[in-house]
């Protein structure tokens, strides 16, 4: 729980710069996606309306809140993870456009199930990518030993 309390503190501090850079970051993400599509010979108009770069702030907060991992491991996790998440966000936008074009012919999709699934997946990328990456890079230090081991059964209740 102390880890989560530290996470809340760091996340609250980092929320401000994330909010202040939100518009510029999303415009840059869209511009980069447009450029990539132009280079690929498939121009597209792309607008990004995700809560980014909040996932980068969340991830950094989780790393900074971690105490069990050695300092150099935590710093390495931040140095690797933040750009990786940014790149993953760009990839998600590109996949969103390509997947919609393949399923509906339109970069923005339509009201069909396939488009809804693609849109939901894109919108939830920030939700899952930060905790998942933290778990992958720092989980083995921060989680108690054996907490995720499937062969360890819960303690049996004492029978009266």
Q: Tell me which residues touch another protein (CB under 8 A).
A: 1, 4, 7-8, 11-12, 15, 19, 22, 51, 54-55, 57-58, 113-114, 116-117, 120-121, 123-124, 126-128, 130-132, 135-136, 139-140, 143, 145, 147-150, 152, 154-155, 157
Residue by residue, DSSP assigns 43-58 as: -------S-TTHHHHH
Q: How far is the CB of 105 from another protein (least distance, A)?
A: 18
- Closest among 42, 28, 25 to 101, alpha carbons compared: 42
Question: Residue 69 — left, alpha, or beta (φ > 0 → left; ψ -120 to 50 → alpha)?
Answer: beta
> No. of H helices and E strands in the chain?
5, 0
Q: How far is the CB of 110 from another protein (least distance, A)?
A: 12
Nearer to another protein by Cβ, of 71 and 149: the residue is 149
Nearer to another protein by Cβ, of 75 and 128: the residue is 128
Nearer to another protein by Cβ, of 34 and 119: the residue is 119
Q: How far is the CB of 86 from another protein (least distance, A)?
A: 16
Is the Cα dihedral 96, 134, 76, 22 positive or negative? positive
CA–CA gap between residue 91 and residue 5 (Å, rounded): 32
Phi first, then psi, for residue 83 (nearest 5°) are -65, -35
Q: How far is the CB of 113 from another protein (least distance, A)?
A: 5
Nearer to another protein by Cβ, of 39 and 111: the residue is 111
């Amino acid at each position: 729980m102390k880890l989560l309390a530290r996470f809340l503190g760091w996340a609250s501090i980092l929320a401000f710069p994330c909010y202040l850079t939100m518009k510029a970051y999303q415009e840059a993400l869209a511009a980069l996606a447009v450029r990539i599509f132009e280079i690929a010979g498939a121009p597209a108009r792309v607008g990004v309306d995700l809560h980014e770069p909040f996932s980068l702030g969340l991830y950094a907060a989780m790393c900074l809140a971690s105490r069990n991992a050695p300092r150099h491991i935590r710093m390495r996790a931040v140095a690797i993870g933040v750009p990786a998440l940014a790149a993953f966000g760009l990839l998600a936008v590109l996949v969103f456009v390509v997947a919609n074009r393949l399923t509906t012919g339109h970069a923005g999709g339509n009201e069909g199930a396939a488009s809804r699934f693609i849109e939901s997946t894109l919108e939830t990328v920030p939700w899952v990518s930060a905790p998942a990456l933290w778990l992958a890079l720092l989980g083995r230090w921060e989680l108690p030993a054996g907490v995720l081991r499937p062969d360890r059964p819960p303690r049996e209740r004492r029978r009266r």
